[in-house]
Amino acid sequence: MAYKPRLEPDIIKILRLLNARGNLTEQEKRYFEGKKKGFEGEVFFDQVVTEPLECEGLVINDLLLKFNNTYFQIDTTIIFKDTIKLFDVKNFQGEYYYEEGRFYAINGSERDDPLVQLERCVSHFRQLLYSLGYKGTIEAYVVHVNPEFTLFQVPRTYPIIFPSQLNSLRKKLNNNQLKLNDWHRRLADKLISLHIVESPYDLSPAYDFDSLRKGNNCGRCQSFSITLNDRILTCNNCGHQETVESAILRGIGEIKLLFPEMKITVNVVYEWCGGVWSKWVIRNVLKKHFKATGYGKWCFYE
């Protein structure tokens, strides 16, 4: 079990909702696809390599930290007794190559070199760790997880792990038998407490309540083609089923995610769900799961 689990970032959830209920531009759609693909790669890495780690090691997923006014992000950090290992997971697809120390896609266009990003990140992280009293070694790797990734002309000394090496990476990590102590757990807790939740790198498009499409859609595939039968909603696209209560609660969660400042009232939820459910049904769900403040039409739920 990871010491800090990996959760789907809010920016992906927001973009998914906007993609279904709004109009993402082609550029925003590509950004959304890129974010999703990156996250899927990280989840795949977890499944193959760190879940669960059968040795003494604290797995901290998805850290966004700041040192000397510079942000840096680490997909996976593992604290062992005498080493901290960092992994930057990439879900690239296609063919790439190195030439004279630069990183190119096969069509000859230069791309941001993951190793340069990694080096920059390690430099900041090392300074932060030393400031916290850590004196061990730090090892960092770029990990490619996509089986359709190929890299040519790469010196074998580069700290890169390929898809064919993931199983042996898992075995190597699990060989680490040195016992951790409270100091390591305190270091892990400290790093997690320094994690920045709202990433300055996340680019959310502008949106507003009125212009987004209303109505219940499928919680799995986002389709708005839904059939209601005996208080169960069934998606006509993927077959996913959900109770009315669960659909209303999910709708409330969507409003809270997209509009954190908005007060949750019966009318707001009624409108968001497209007027499909009576206000009486919505009020009952709100009363059951939230605390009411105020009365009558000024009543809102927290």
Shortest Cβ 220–Zn ion spacing (Å): 5
User: Which listed range, 80-88, 155-163, 220-228, 263-271, lies at the site for Zn ion (CB under 5 A)?
Assistant: 220-228
115 φ, ψ to 5°?
-70, -30
- C-alpha 163/C-alpha 135 separation (Å) is 31
**116 touches Zn ion (CB under 5 A):** no
Contact (CB, 8 A) for 199 and 257:
no
Shortest Cβ 190–Zn ion spacing (Å): 42
User: Which listed range, 3-11, 125-133, 142-150, 218-226, lies at the site for Zn ion (CB under 5 A)?
Assistant: 218-226
Q: State which of residues 2, 48, 238, 299 lies at the interface with Zn ion (CB under 5 A).
A: 238
User: Which listed range, 9-17, 20-28, 223-231, 281-289, lies at the site for Zn ion (CB under 5 A)?
Assistant: 223-231
**Helix 244-258 vs helix 279-289: crossing angle, to nearest 10:** 70
193-212 residues near Zn ion, rule: CB under 5 A: none
Tell me the CA distances in angstroms from 105 to 36, 41, 152, 162, 228, one per residue in order.
21, 19, 10, 17, 49
**237 touches Zn ion (CB under 5 A):** yes
Contact (CB, 8 A) for 286 and 278:
no
Shortest Cβ 274–Zn ion spacing (Å): 16
**170 touches Zn ion (CB under 5 A):** no
DSSP 190-255: HHHHH--SS-TT--PPP--TTTSPPS---TTT--S-EEEETTEEEETTT--EEEHHHHHHHHHHHH
Other Cβ atoms closer than 10 A to 110: 10
What is the total count of residues that contact Zn ion (CB under 5 A)? 8
151 vs 238, which CB is nearer to Zn ion?
238
- The amino acid that residue 218 corresponds to is C
- C-alpha 153/C-alpha 86 separation (Å) is 24
**3-state secondary structure (DSSP) of residue 283:** helix
Among the listed residues 3, 172, 151, 153, the one whose alpha carbon sits nearest the alpha carbon of residue 76: 3
213 vs 220, which CB is nearer to Zn ion?
220
Which H helix or E strand runs over 270? helix 266-272
**220 touches Zn ion (CB under 5 A):** yes
15 vs 145, which CB is nearer to Zn ion?
15
123 vs 234, which CB is nearer to Zn ion?
234
Q: State which of residues 117, 146, 223, 284 lies at the interface with Zn ion (CB under 5 A).
A: 223
188 vs 235, which CB is nearer to Zn ion?
235
Shortest Cβ 187–Zn ion spacing (Å): 43
Shortest Cβ 226–Zn ion spacing (Å): 8
Contact (CB, 8 A) for 183 and 136:
no
User: Which listed range, 176-184, 191-199, 235-243, 254-262, lies at the site for Zn ion (CB under 5 A)?
Assistant: 235-243
Q: State which of residues 36, 81, 126, 240 lies at the interface with Zn ion (CB under 5 A).
A: 240
What residues line the site for Zn ion (CB under 5 A)?
Answer: 218, 220-221, 223, 235, 237-238, 240
